[in-house]
Structure 1
Amino acid sequence: MFFVYILTNRMHGTLYVGVTNDLARRVEEHRQGIAAGFTKTHKLHRLVYAAEFERIEEAIAAEKRLKRWHRSWKIQLIEKSNPDWKDLMTL
């Protein structure tokens, strides 16, 4: 399985869209700040959206599509499945 996910630092905060084949591992890497970059700089540790795909090509296409979306569309996507912006890794 492959996942497209969105991280944030708070409700309506900065958003990051990524793709991975191991969601738990990747979110933990972001939380530990293993790699310097956007998520470390902005302290994006809260998983607020994730979608599962069977093929990596599908996941990458979905990630690219989401990255092109307007911010308001991403917020609507998050709030459709996670209206309280809860951290999905702690549920």
Structure 2
Amino acid sequence: MATDDDVIADFAAAVNMTGEELESWLDTEESKSVGRREPGDESVGHHSGRRIVTLLGKDNRDDTDGDVAHMRKVVGAPVVAGWMS
């Protein structure tokens, strides 16, 4: 399993927009019109994007286990079964 430090580095390399750029994109109608969702809910990807904006605004020294778990989802890093439940 990738270490938290590896996941954080992979996340930084994978996210190719600044928080401000991503936030601007998330505010567009195009962004809001796509993705898997339940009726009336925000799409899964849109919700993840808002979480990424928050993560990009944080100092990595302040990352919680939940933050690193979301980064693992973003970069597709494997997790130990049950670890994120």
Higher relative contact order (CA 8 A, sep 6+): 2
Higher strand share: 1
TM-score w.r.t. structure 2 length?
0.32
Higher helix share: 2
Q: Which has the larger radius of gyration?
A: 2
TM-score w.r.t. structure 1 length?
0.30
